[in-house]
Amino acid sequence: MTRECTDTRHLGKDWQVNISTERDGGALVIKTEGRIDGSNASNFQNSVEAEITTEDSAVILDFEQLNYISSAGLRVILLIAKDLQQKSKKFAICSLSTLVREIFMISGFDQIIAVHDDPGAAVSALQN
Amino acid sequence: MSDKQDRYKILVVDDEPDVEPLILQRMRRAIRSGRYEFVFAQNGIEALERLNLEEDIDMVLSDINMPQMDGLTLLEQIPKVDPNIRSVIISAYGDMENIRTAMNRGAFDFVTKPLDFQDLKHTIERTLKHLIEWREALASRDKLISIQNELTVANKMQQSILPTRFPKDTNYNIWANMEPARDVGGDFYDFFRLEDGRVGIAIADVSDKGVPAALFMMSSRTLLKGTAIGLEQPNKVLDDVNDLLYEDNDAALFVTVIYAVYSPEDGVLTYSNGGHNPPLIVHSDGSSTLLPYIGGIALGIAPDMTFPQSTVNLAPGDTLILYTDGVTEAMNADQEEFGMERFQEVFKEAPPMSSQEANQAVFNAVHAFAGDTIQSDDITCLTLFRSEAGS
Protein backbone atom coordinates (compact mmCIF):
# COMPACT_ATOMS: atom_id res chain seq x y z
CA MET A 1 0.00 0.00 0.00
CA THR A 2 1.07 3.59 -0.55
CA ARG A 3 0.58 6.47 1.77
CA GLU A 4 1.53 10.08 2.01
CA CYS A 5 3.28 10.97 5.23
CA THR A 6 2.66 14.68 5.18
CA ASP A 7 0.46 17.26 3.68
CA THR A 8 3.14 19.20 1.84
CA ARG A 9 1.46 18.99 -1.54
CA HIS A 10 1.60 22.75 -1.93
CA LEU A 11 5.40 22.48 -2.00
CA GLY A 12 5.37 20.06 -4.89
CA LYS A 13 6.35 16.43 -5.20
CA ASP A 14 10.02 17.01 -4.41
CA TRP A 15 9.17 18.07 -0.86
CA GLN A 16 7.10 15.09 0.20
CA VAL A 17 7.95 11.69 1.48
CA ASN A 18 5.78 8.75 0.48
CA ILE A 19 6.15 5.15 1.48
CA SER A 20 4.90 1.90 0.03
CA THR A 21 5.39 -1.56 1.47
CA GLU A 22 5.87 -5.13 0.34
CA ARG A 23 6.89 -8.29 2.15
CA ASP A 24 9.72 -10.62 1.22
CA GLY A 25 9.93 -13.70 3.42
CA GLY A 26 9.76 -12.39 6.96
CA ALA A 27 11.06 -8.99 5.94
CA LEU A 28 8.98 -5.85 5.53
CA VAL A 29 10.46 -3.74 2.73
CA ILE A 30 9.45 -0.08 2.89
CA LYS A 31 10.10 1.87 -0.27
CA THR A 32 10.72 5.49 0.59
CA GLU A 33 10.27 8.20 -1.99
CA GLY A 34 11.01 11.94 -1.85
CA ARG A 35 12.90 13.64 0.95
CA ILE A 36 12.93 13.36 4.74
CA ASP A 37 13.56 16.57 6.64
CA GLY A 38 12.41 18.47 9.74
CA SER A 39 8.99 19.16 8.22
CA ASN A 40 7.99 15.54 7.77
CA ALA A 41 10.45 13.44 9.81
CA SER A 42 8.14 12.56 12.68
CA ASN A 43 5.23 11.81 10.32
CA PHE A 44 7.56 9.54 8.39
CA GLN A 45 8.50 7.76 11.62
CA ASN A 46 4.84 7.27 12.59
CA SER A 47 3.93 5.99 9.13
CA VAL A 48 6.80 3.49 9.16
CA GLU A 49 6.03 2.26 12.66
CA ALA A 50 2.34 1.87 11.79
CA GLU A 51 3.25 -0.53 8.97
CA ILE A 52 5.28 -2.88 11.18
CA THR A 53 3.36 -5.93 12.43
CA THR A 54 4.37 -8.50 15.04
CA GLU A 55 4.94 -11.04 12.23
CA ASP A 56 7.69 -8.97 10.61
CA SER A 57 11.07 -10.24 11.78
CA ALA A 58 13.04 -7.66 9.81
CA VAL A 59 12.48 -4.19 8.40
CA ILE A 60 14.31 -2.82 5.36
CA LEU A 61 14.06 0.79 4.25
CA ASP A 62 14.56 0.94 0.49
CA PHE A 63 15.98 4.40 -0.27
CA GLU A 64 16.28 4.05 -4.05
CA GLN A 65 13.78 6.91 -4.57
CA LEU A 66 14.96 9.01 -1.63
CA ASN A 67 16.53 12.26 -2.86
CA TYR A 68 17.58 13.82 0.42
CA ILE A 69 17.68 13.24 4.16
CA SER A 70 18.42 15.98 6.72
CA SER A 71 19.82 15.53 10.22
CA ALA A 72 16.24 15.52 11.54
CA GLY A 73 15.63 12.63 9.15
CA LEU A 74 18.73 10.78 10.36
CA ARG A 75 17.43 11.18 13.89
CA VAL A 76 14.16 9.37 13.12
CA ILE A 77 16.09 6.59 11.34
CA LEU A 78 17.97 6.22 14.62
CA LEU A 79 14.69 6.17 16.59
CA ILE A 80 13.26 3.53 14.25
CA ALA A 81 16.45 1.45 14.62
CA LYS A 82 16.29 1.70 18.43
CA ASP A 83 12.60 0.76 18.47
CA LEU A 84 13.23 -2.30 16.28
CA GLN A 85 16.20 -3.36 18.37
CA GLN A 86 13.97 -3.28 21.45
CA LYS A 87 11.43 -5.48 19.67
CA SER A 88 14.23 -7.87 18.59
CA LYS A 89 13.61 -7.15 14.92
CA LYS A 90 16.44 -6.73 12.43
CA PHE A 91 16.91 -3.50 10.52
CA ALA A 92 18.76 -2.41 7.40
CA ILE A 93 18.65 0.21 4.67
CA CYS A 94 19.42 -0.29 1.00
CA SER A 95 19.76 1.24 -2.48
CA LEU A 96 21.12 4.61 -1.39
CA SER A 97 21.60 7.35 -3.99
CA THR A 98 25.03 8.97 -4.17
CA LEU A 99 23.92 12.00 -2.15
CA VAL A 100 22.12 10.01 0.55
CA ARG A 101 25.05 7.58 0.76
CA GLU A 102 27.37 10.54 1.30
CA ILE A 103 25.13 11.89 4.08
CA PHE A 104 25.20 8.49 5.82
CA MET A 105 28.97 8.27 5.38
CA ILE A 106 29.88 11.76 6.58
CA SER A 107 27.61 11.52 9.63
CA GLY A 108 29.01 8.06 10.39
CA PHE A 109 25.52 6.52 10.44
CA ASP A 110 26.75 3.79 8.10
CA GLN A 111 28.83 2.57 11.05
CA ILE A 112 25.79 1.75 13.17
CA ILE A 113 23.13 0.94 10.56
CA ALA A 114 23.53 -1.89 8.04
CA VAL A 115 23.65 -0.54 4.48
CA HIS A 116 23.13 -2.83 1.48
CA ASP A 117 23.25 -2.33 -2.29
CA ASP A 118 19.73 -3.57 -2.99
CA PRO A 119 16.67 -5.12 -1.25
CA GLY A 120 17.72 -8.64 -2.26
CA ALA A 121 21.12 -8.29 -0.62
CA ALA A 122 19.49 -6.79 2.49
CA VAL A 123 16.93 -9.61 2.79
CA SER A 124 19.52 -12.36 2.43
CA ALA A 125 21.90 -10.63 4.86
CA LEU A 126 19.12 -10.30 7.45
CA GLN A 127 18.05 -13.94 7.03
CA ASN A 128 21.50 -15.17 8.04
CA MET B 1 -9.80 22.65 35.56
CA SER B 2 -12.36 22.99 38.31
CA ASP B 3 -15.97 21.99 38.02
CA LYS B 4 -16.59 25.65 37.18
CA GLN B 5 -16.22 24.22 33.67
CA ASP B 6 -19.73 22.79 33.66
CA ARG B 7 -21.46 25.20 36.09
CA TYR B 8 -22.64 28.44 34.64
CA LYS B 9 -24.06 31.54 36.28
CA ILE B 10 -26.67 33.43 34.29
CA LEU B 11 -27.91 36.89 35.18
CA VAL B 12 -31.55 37.49 34.19
CA VAL B 13 -32.53 41.17 33.89
CA ASP B 14 -36.27 41.90 33.70
CA ASP B 15 -38.63 44.25 35.52
CA GLU B 16 -41.63 41.89 35.33
CA PRO B 17 -42.00 40.23 38.74
CA ASP B 18 -43.28 36.89 37.37
CA VAL B 19 -40.12 36.21 35.31
CA GLU B 20 -38.02 35.05 38.29
CA PRO B 21 -40.42 32.34 39.59
CA LEU B 22 -41.21 31.25 36.04
CA ILE B 23 -37.56 30.69 35.11
CA LEU B 24 -36.76 28.99 38.41
CA GLN B 25 -39.72 26.67 37.86
CA ARG B 26 -39.16 25.84 34.19
CA MET B 27 -35.38 25.49 34.48
CA ARG B 28 -35.53 23.55 37.76
CA ARG B 29 -33.95 20.42 36.32
CA ALA B 30 -30.87 22.23 35.01
CA ILE B 31 -30.67 24.17 38.29
CA ARG B 32 -30.93 21.03 40.40
CA SER B 33 -28.24 19.27 38.34
CA GLY B 34 -25.97 22.21 39.12
CA ARG B 35 -25.43 23.20 35.50
CA TYR B 36 -27.20 26.56 35.73
CA GLU B 37 -27.34 29.05 38.52
CA PHE B 38 -29.68 32.02 37.99
CA VAL B 39 -29.36 35.41 39.61
CA PHE B 40 -31.82 38.24 38.98
CA ALA B 41 -31.89 42.00 38.53
CA GLN B 42 -34.84 44.37 37.92
CA ASN B 43 -33.12 46.80 35.55
CA GLY B 44 -29.82 47.77 33.89
CA ILE B 45 -28.41 49.66 36.89
CA GLU B 46 -29.04 46.74 39.23
CA ALA B 47 -27.59 44.35 36.62
CA LEU B 48 -24.35 46.33 36.38
CA GLU B 49 -24.06 46.37 40.19
CA ARG B 50 -24.37 42.60 40.27
CA LEU B 51 -21.86 42.16 37.43
CA ASN B 52 -19.37 44.30 39.31
CA LEU B 53 -19.93 42.38 42.55
CA GLU B 54 -20.01 38.85 41.17
CA GLU B 55 -17.08 38.08 38.90
CA ASP B 56 -18.26 34.62 37.96
CA ILE B 57 -21.31 35.57 35.86
CA ASP B 58 -20.95 33.93 32.45
CA MET B 59 -24.01 35.15 30.59
CA VAL B 60 -26.67 37.86 30.71
CA LEU B 61 -30.28 37.37 29.60
CA SER B 62 -31.92 40.77 29.42
CA ASP B 63 -35.25 42.36 28.59
CA ILE B 64 -35.15 45.53 26.47
CA ASN B 65 -37.78 47.81 28.02
CA MET B 66 -37.00 48.49 31.66
CA PRO B 67 -37.06 51.55 33.96
CA GLN B 68 -33.84 53.43 34.94
CA MET B 69 -31.55 51.67 32.42
CA ASP B 70 -32.93 49.71 29.49
CA GLY B 71 -31.46 46.56 27.95
CA LEU B 72 -29.93 48.31 24.95
CA THR B 73 -27.96 50.69 27.19
CA LEU B 74 -26.95 47.77 29.41
CA LEU B 75 -25.56 45.97 26.34
CA GLU B 76 -23.12 48.81 25.80
CA GLN B 77 -21.98 48.73 29.42
CA ILE B 78 -21.39 44.99 29.82
CA PRO B 79 -18.10 44.76 27.82
CA LYS B 80 -16.64 47.49 30.06
CA VAL B 81 -17.14 45.19 33.06
CA ASP B 82 -16.03 42.00 31.29
CA PRO B 83 -15.61 41.66 27.52
CA ASN B 84 -15.96 37.89 27.77
CA ILE B 85 -19.55 37.87 29.04
CA ARG B 86 -22.11 36.89 26.41
CA SER B 87 -25.56 38.52 26.27
CA VAL B 88 -28.89 37.33 24.95
CA ILE B 89 -31.71 39.84 24.57
CA ILE B 90 -35.44 39.26 25.21
CA SER B 91 -37.54 41.31 22.82
CA ALA B 92 -41.19 41.66 21.88
CA TYR B 93 -42.19 39.41 19.02
CA GLY B 94 -41.53 41.10 15.67
CA ASP B 95 -39.71 44.10 17.13
CA MET B 96 -37.00 43.96 14.46
CA GLU B 97 -35.76 47.47 15.05
CA ASN B 98 -34.76 46.79 18.67
CA ILE B 99 -33.45 43.33 17.78
CA ARG B 100 -31.16 44.83 15.12
CA THR B 101 -29.95 47.50 17.53
CA ALA B 102 -29.23 44.84 20.16
CA MET B 103 -27.30 42.67 17.71
CA ASN B 104 -25.31 45.66 16.51
CA ARG B 105 -24.43 46.44 20.11
CA GLY B 106 -22.91 43.02 20.56
CA ALA B 107 -25.76 40.75 21.70
CA PHE B 108 -24.92 37.13 20.93
CA ASP B 109 -28.54 36.14 20.20
CA PHE B 110 -32.15 37.04 21.01
CA VAL B 111 -35.35 35.30 22.14
CA THR B 112 -38.89 36.68 21.89
CA LYS B 113 -41.77 37.10 24.31
CA PRO B 114 -43.81 35.21 25.28
CA LEU B 115 -40.86 33.00 26.27
CA ASP B 116 -40.70 29.56 24.65
CA PHE B 117 -38.66 27.70 27.29
CA GLN B 118 -37.56 24.94 24.95
CA ASP B 119 -36.14 27.57 22.62
CA LEU B 120 -34.63 29.47 25.56
CA LYS B 121 -32.80 26.32 26.71
CA HIS B 122 -31.37 25.82 23.21
CA THR B 123 -30.31 29.44 23.06
CA ILE B 124 -28.62 29.29 26.46
CA GLU B 125 -26.79 26.07 25.53
CA ARG B 126 -25.66 27.51 22.23
CA THR B 127 -24.41 30.66 23.94
CA LEU B 128 -22.52 28.67 26.57
CA LYS B 129 -20.99 26.42 23.91
CA HIS B 130 -19.71 29.48 22.13
CA LEU B 131 -18.39 30.84 25.43
CA ILE B 132 -16.48 27.61 26.16
CA GLU B 133 -14.86 27.66 22.74
CA TRP B 134 -14.04 31.32 23.08
CA ARG B 135 -12.36 30.71 26.44
CA GLU B 136 -10.36 27.80 25.03
CA ALA B 137 -9.22 29.98 22.16
CA LEU B 138 -8.15 32.68 24.61
CA ALA B 139 -6.28 30.15 26.74
CA SER B 140 -4.37 28.72 23.78
CA ARG B 141 -3.55 32.21 22.57
CA ASP B 142 -2.11 33.04 25.98
CA LYS B 143 -0.13 29.82 25.93
CA LEU B 144 1.25 30.65 22.50
CA ILE B 145 2.29 34.10 23.63
CA SER B 146 4.10 32.68 26.63
CA ILE B 147 5.87 30.07 24.47
CA GLN B 148 6.95 32.80 22.07
CA ASN B 149 8.31 34.79 24.98
CA GLU B 150 10.25 31.76 26.17
CA LEU B 151 11.67 31.25 22.68
CA THR B 152 12.83 34.85 22.60
CA VAL B 153 14.58 34.33 25.94
CA ALA B 154 16.10 31.04 24.72
CA ASN B 155 17.32 32.75 21.55
CA LYS B 156 19.00 35.49 23.56
CA MET B 157 20.60 32.98 25.91
CA GLN B 158 21.86 30.96 23.01
CA GLN B 159 23.32 33.92 21.17
CA SER B 160 24.89 35.19 24.37
CA ILE B 161 26.85 32.00 25.06
CA LEU B 162 28.52 32.12 21.64
CA PRO B 163 31.80 34.04 22.00
CA THR B 164 31.97 37.29 20.04
CA ARG B 165 35.33 38.69 21.17
CA PHE B 166 37.43 37.30 18.38
CA PRO B 167 41.17 36.79 18.95
CA LYS B 168 43.38 38.97 16.77
CA ASP B 169 46.98 37.93 17.21
CA THR B 170 50.02 38.94 15.15
CA ASN B 171 50.17 35.53 13.48
CA TYR B 172 46.50 34.49 13.30
CA ASN B 173 42.93 35.73 13.70
CA ILE B 174 39.51 34.08 14.11
CA TRP B 175 36.01 35.16 13.10
CA ALA B 176 32.68 33.35 13.40
CA ASN B 177 28.98 33.87 12.87
CA MET B 178 25.78 31.89 13.41
CA GLU B 179 22.44 32.78 11.81
CA PRO B 180 19.66 30.64 13.30
CA ALA B 181 16.84 29.56 10.96
CA ARG B 182 14.14 29.63 13.64
CA ASP B 183 13.96 31.37 16.99
CA VAL B 184 16.34 28.85 18.49
CA GLY B 185 18.88 26.92 16.52
CA GLY B 186 21.01 23.84 16.91
CA ASP B 187 24.33 25.08 15.53
CA PHE B 188 27.20 26.46 17.55
CA TYR B 189 30.84 27.42 17.28
CA ASP B 190 33.48 27.94 19.92
CA PHE B 191 37.11 28.91 20.37
CA PHE B 192 39.29 29.13 23.44
CA ARG B 193 42.95 29.39 24.39
CA LEU B 194 44.50 26.23 25.80
CA GLU B 195 47.19 26.18 28.50
CA ASP B 196 50.05 25.32 26.13
CA GLY B 197 49.41 28.43 24.02
CA ARG B 198 47.46 26.55 21.37
CA VAL B 199 43.88 27.40 20.45
CA GLY B 200 40.90 25.06 20.52
CA ILE B 201 38.24 25.68 17.84
CA ALA B 202 34.97 23.89 17.25
CA ILE B 203 31.91 23.92 15.05
CA ALA B 204 28.84 21.78 15.65
CA ASP B 205 25.38 21.04 14.30
CA VAL B 206 22.70 19.42 16.47
CA SER B 207 20.13 17.26 14.68
CA ASP B 208 16.84 19.06 14.20
CA LYS B 209 15.97 22.56 15.40
CA GLY B 210 13.75 24.14 18.02
CA VAL B 211 13.88 23.96 21.80
CA PRO B 212 15.05 20.32 22.34
CA ALA B 213 17.89 20.85 19.87
CA ALA B 214 18.81 24.11 21.59
CA LEU B 215 19.02 22.40 25.01
CA PHE B 216 21.14 19.62 23.52
CA MET B 217 23.33 22.26 21.90
CA MET B 218 23.84 24.03 25.23
CA SER B 219 24.99 20.86 26.98
CA SER B 220 27.15 19.78 24.01
CA ARG B 221 28.93 23.09 24.04
CA THR B 222 29.57 23.00 27.80
CA LEU B 223 30.79 19.40 27.72
CA LEU B 224 33.07 20.04 24.74
CA LYS B 225 34.74 23.09 26.25
CA GLY B 226 35.04 21.47 29.68
CA THR B 227 36.61 18.33 28.23
CA ALA B 228 38.86 20.17 25.77
CA ILE B 229 40.54 22.21 28.47
CA GLY B 230 41.80 19.04 30.17
CA LEU B 231 42.87 16.97 27.14
CA GLU B 232 45.55 17.61 24.50
CA GLN B 233 44.34 15.31 21.72
CA PRO B 234 41.19 16.39 19.84
CA ASN B 235 40.09 12.81 19.18
CA LYS B 236 40.26 11.98 22.90
CA VAL B 237 38.03 14.98 23.54
CA LEU B 238 35.41 13.65 21.15
CA ASP B 239 35.71 10.12 22.63
CA ASP B 240 34.79 11.53 26.04
CA VAL B 241 32.11 14.02 24.94
CA ASN B 242 30.44 11.28 22.89
CA ASP B 243 30.09 9.01 25.91
CA LEU B 244 28.82 11.87 28.08
CA LEU B 245 26.18 12.81 25.52
CA TYR B 246 25.19 9.19 24.92
CA GLU B 247 24.11 8.69 28.54
CA ASP B 248 20.36 9.31 29.01
CA ASN B 249 19.90 10.38 25.40
CA ASP B 250 16.47 8.79 24.93
CA ALA B 251 15.42 11.47 22.48
CA ALA B 252 18.15 10.19 20.13
CA LEU B 253 19.41 13.69 19.43
CA PHE B 254 22.95 13.88 18.13
CA VAL B 255 25.52 16.47 17.24
CA THR B 256 28.09 16.52 14.45
CA VAL B 257 31.32 18.24 15.49
CA ILE B 258 34.70 19.25 14.25
CA TYR B 259 37.08 19.93 17.07
CA ALA B 260 40.56 21.15 16.19
CA VAL B 261 43.60 22.41 18.02
CA TYR B 262 45.65 25.07 16.24
CA SER B 263 49.21 25.95 17.02
CA PRO B 264 49.81 29.62 16.11
CA GLU B 265 53.61 29.15 16.25
CA ASP B 266 53.94 26.76 13.33
CA GLY B 267 50.46 26.68 11.73
CA VAL B 268 49.86 23.02 12.60
CA LEU B 269 46.20 22.08 12.88
CA THR B 270 45.24 18.80 14.56
CA TYR B 271 41.59 17.95 14.12
CA SER B 272 39.06 15.26 14.84
CA ASN B 273 35.74 14.78 13.11
CA GLY B 274 32.49 13.54 14.62
CA GLY B 275 30.26 13.10 11.57
CA HIS B 276 30.65 16.69 10.34
CA ASN B 277 31.29 18.20 6.90
CA PRO B 278 35.04 18.23 6.26
CA PRO B 279 36.87 21.58 6.73
CA LEU B 280 37.93 23.71 3.79
CA ILE B 281 41.30 25.43 3.48
CA VAL B 282 41.49 28.47 1.19
CA HIS B 283 44.97 29.34 -0.04
CA SER B 284 46.41 32.79 -0.69
CA ASP B 285 46.03 32.31 -4.47
CA GLY B 286 42.26 31.74 -4.13
CA SER B 287 42.39 27.99 -4.69
CA SER B 288 41.03 25.77 -1.94
CA THR B 289 41.39 22.27 -0.58
CA LEU B 290 38.58 20.27 0.96
CA LEU B 291 40.16 18.15 3.69
CA PRO B 292 39.67 14.41 3.12
CA TYR B 293 37.01 12.35 4.85
CA ILE B 294 38.61 10.74 7.89
CA GLY B 295 35.62 8.83 9.33
CA GLY B 296 34.11 9.57 12.71
CA ILE B 297 30.50 9.33 13.75
CA ALA B 298 28.05 11.95 15.03
CA LEU B 299 28.22 12.31 18.82
CA GLY B 300 25.56 10.92 21.15
CA ILE B 301 24.29 7.93 19.16
CA ALA B 302 26.63 5.06 20.03
CA PRO B 303 28.85 4.45 23.09
CA ASP B 304 32.58 3.70 23.30
CA MET B 305 33.45 5.03 19.87
CA THR B 306 37.03 5.81 18.84
CA PHE B 307 37.31 9.03 16.89
CA PRO B 308 39.82 9.66 14.09
CA GLN B 309 42.41 12.38 14.08
CA SER B 310 44.43 14.06 11.37
CA THR B 311 46.93 16.87 11.01
CA VAL B 312 47.32 19.56 8.38
CA ASN B 313 49.65 22.54 8.08
CA LEU B 314 48.29 25.99 7.38
CA ALA B 315 50.68 28.01 5.23
CA PRO B 316 50.90 31.76 5.84
CA GLY B 317 47.96 33.34 4.00
CA ASP B 318 45.80 30.20 4.34
CA THR B 319 42.28 30.41 5.76
CA LEU B 320 40.70 27.47 7.54
CA ILE B 321 36.90 27.40 7.13
CA LEU B 322 34.67 25.34 9.40
CA TYR B 323 31.00 25.45 8.37
CA THR B 324 27.70 23.66 8.87
CA ASP B 325 25.48 22.22 6.15
CA GLY B 326 23.34 25.36 6.44
CA VAL B 327 25.99 26.91 4.17
CA THR B 328 26.28 24.18 1.54
CA GLU B 329 22.58 23.28 1.59
CA ALA B 330 21.21 26.84 1.45
CA MET B 331 18.48 26.84 -1.19
CA ASN B 332 17.54 29.36 -3.83
CA ALA B 333 14.08 29.94 -5.34
CA ASP B 334 14.72 27.17 -7.91
CA GLN B 335 15.36 24.71 -5.07
CA GLU B 336 19.01 24.40 -5.98
CA GLU B 337 21.58 23.97 -3.24
CA PHE B 338 24.45 26.39 -2.78
CA GLY B 339 26.79 23.40 -2.86
CA MET B 340 30.51 22.90 -2.46
CA GLU B 341 31.39 24.13 -5.95
CA ARG B 342 29.85 27.59 -5.46
CA PHE B 343 31.35 27.67 -1.97
CA GLN B 344 34.87 27.21 -3.31
CA GLU B 345 34.13 29.62 -6.14
CA VAL B 346 33.64 32.46 -3.61
CA PHE B 347 37.37 32.85 -3.02
CA LYS B 348 38.77 32.19 -6.51
CA GLU B 349 38.84 35.82 -7.59
CA ALA B 350 39.23 37.32 -4.13
CA PRO B 351 41.40 35.35 -1.71
CA PRO B 352 40.62 36.54 1.84
CA MET B 353 43.11 38.73 3.71
CA SER B 354 41.63 38.05 7.14
CA SER B 355 39.27 35.65 8.90
CA GLN B 356 36.60 38.36 9.10
CA GLU B 357 36.79 39.02 5.38
CA ALA B 358 36.53 35.29 4.62
CA ASN B 359 33.59 34.89 6.96
CA GLN B 360 31.67 37.82 5.52
CA ALA B 361 32.37 36.62 1.98
CA VAL B 362 30.73 33.28 2.82
CA PHE B 363 27.60 34.89 4.28
CA ASN B 364 27.37 37.44 1.45
CA ALA B 365 27.60 34.69 -1.15
CA VAL B 366 24.97 32.54 0.59
CA HIS B 367 22.59 35.50 1.00
CA ALA B 368 23.04 36.54 -2.63
CA PHE B 369 22.40 32.98 -3.76
CA ALA B 370 19.35 32.31 -1.53
CA GLY B 371 17.69 35.68 -2.21
CA ASP B 372 14.28 35.79 -0.55
CA THR B 373 14.03 32.02 -0.10
CA ILE B 374 13.17 31.16 3.50
CA GLN B 375 16.20 29.91 5.41
CA SER B 376 15.49 26.33 6.48
CA ASP B 377 18.62 25.56 8.48
CA ASP B 378 21.02 27.41 10.78
CA ILE B 379 23.98 28.87 8.91
CA THR B 380 27.24 28.83 10.83
CA CYS B 381 30.78 29.50 9.76
CA LEU B 382 34.05 29.82 11.67
CA THR B 383 37.17 31.06 9.93
CA LEU B 384 40.81 31.06 11.04
CA PHE B 385 43.40 33.03 9.07
CA ARG B 386 47.15 32.48 9.36
CA SER B 387 48.86 35.79 8.73
CA GLU B 388 51.86 36.16 6.46
CA ALA B 389 55.07 35.89 8.49
CA GLY B 390 55.96 39.16 10.18
CA SER B 391 52.94 41.03 8.85
**Which pLDDT score is estimated for A50?**
94
Interface confidence: ipTM more than 0.90: no
What's B221's DSSP letter? Answer: H
- Distances in Å between the alpha carbon of B121 and those of B12, B36, B88, B125, B128? 14, 11, 12, 6, 11
pLDDT beyond 50 at A9? no
The CA-atom distances, in angstroms, between B265 and each of B175, B355, B390 are 19, 17, 12
- Looking from the CA of B274 toward its CB, the CA atoms found within 13 Å total 34
pLDDT for res B161: 83
Q: Is B209 helix (H, G, I), strand (E, B) or coil?
A: coil
In degrees and rounded to multiples of 5, residue B30 shows phi and psi of: -65, -30
Residue B329 has pLDDT above 50, yes or no: yes
Subunit contact A75:B207, Cβ cutoff 8 A? yes
pLDDT digits (tens, 9 = 90+) for B276-327: 999 999 999 999 999 999 999 999 999 999 999 999 999 999 999 999 999 9
Residue B77 has pLDDT above 90, yes or no: yes
- Using the beta-carbon criterion (under 8 Å), do A71 and B254 form an inter-chain contact? yes
CA end-to-end distance (rounded Å), chain A = 28
CA R_g for chain A? 13
Residue B152: per-residue pLDDT: 79
Q: Alpha helices of chain B — where are they, by DSSP H?
A: 19-26, 28-32, 44-53, 71-81, 96-104, 117-161, 211-230, 234-246, 325-328, 339-345, 355-370
- Phi then psi for residue B156, to 5 deg, are -65, -40
Residues B353-379, mean pLDDT to the nearest whole number? 94
Which whole number is the average pLDDT over B352-378? 94
Q: What is the mean pLDDT of residues B179-205?
A: 88
Asked if the model's pLDDT at residue B144 lies above 80, the reply is yes
Percent of chain B with pLDDT strictly greater than 70: 97
Most B-contacting residue of A37, A107, A113 (CB-CB within 10 A), to test interface: A107
Span of B3-12, B116-125, B156-165, B296-305 with lowest mean pLDDT: B3-12
- Model confidence at B48, pLDDT cuts 50, 70, 90, reads very high
Taking CB atoms and an 8 Å limit, are A72 and B209 in contact across chains?
Answer: yes
Query: What pLDDT is stored for residue B94 in this prediction?
Result: 86
User: Does residue A6 surpass a pLDDT of 90?
Assistant: no
Q: What is the pLDDT of residue B149?
A: 82
Question: How far, in Å, are B150, B287, B320, B389 from residue B317 at the CA level?
Answer: 44, 12, 10, 9
Cβ count near B350 (within 10 Å): 11
Query: For the ranges B54-63, B70-79, B174-183, B231-240, which has the lowest average pLDDT?
Result: B174-183
Q: Which domains are seen in chain A, by residue range? A: 2-127 (3.30.750.24)
**Cβ contact (<8 Å) for A75 and B277?**
no
Closest partner residue to B335 (CB to CB) among A14, A70, A107 is A14
Judged against a pLDDT cut of 70, whether residue A114 lies above it is answered with yes
- For residues A30 and A2, give the distance between their C-alpha atoms in angstroms, rounded to a whole number: 10
Q: Which domains does chain B have, with CATH numbers?
A: 3-141 (3.40.50.2300), 162-386 (3.60.40.10)
Q: Are B238 and B299 in contact (CB under 8 A)?
A: yes
At residue B1, does pLDDT exceed 60?
no
- Interface A–B counts its CB contacts (< 8 A) at 57
Helix and strand numbers (H, E) in chain A are: 4, 6
DSSP state at residue B166 = -
Higher-confidence residue: A16 or B172?
B172
Asked if residues A21 and A35 have their Cβ atoms less than 8 Å apart, the reply is no
> In chain B, what percentage of residues exceed pLDDT 90?
74
Q: What is residue B2's predicted lDDT score, i.e. its pLDDT?
A: 39
CA distances from B233 to B47, B301, B312 (A): 79, 22, 14
Residue A4: pLDDT band by 50, 70, 90 thresholds?
A: low
**B207, B278, B297 member nearest A71 (Cβ):** B207
User: What are the tens digits of pLDDT across the range A22-32?
Assistant: 998 889 999 99
Query: Closest by alpha carbon to B124, among B44, B186, B58?
Result: B58
pLDDT digits (tens, 9 = 90+) for B243-281: 999 998 888 899 999 999 999 999 999 999 999 999 999
| A5 pLDDT higher than 60 | no
Task: Find out whether B271 and B309 touch, Cβ atoms under 8 Å.
Answer: yes
Q: How confident is the model at residue B249, as a pLDDT?
A: 86
* Chain length of chain A: 128
pLDDT digits 0-9 by tens, B101-120: 999 999 999 999 989 999 99
pLDDT of amino acid B158: 78
Mean predicted confidence (pLDDT) in A68-92: 93
DSSP string, B342-378: HHHHTTTSS--SSHHHHHHHHHHHHHHHHTTSPP-S-
Higher-scoring residue by pLDDT: A51, B147:
A51
* Interface residue ranges in chain A relative to chain B, Cβ cutoff 8 Å: 14, 37-38, 41, 70-72, 74-75, 78-79, 82, 105-109, 111-112
Distance CA B361, CA B323 (A): 13
> Which residues have C-beta within 8 Å of that of residue B283, sequence separation ≥ 6?
B289, B315, B317, B318, B351
- Chain A residues whose CB is inside 8 A of the B205 CB are 71
Confidence of residue B165 (pLDDT cuts 50, 70, 90): very high
* pLDDT value of position B213: 80
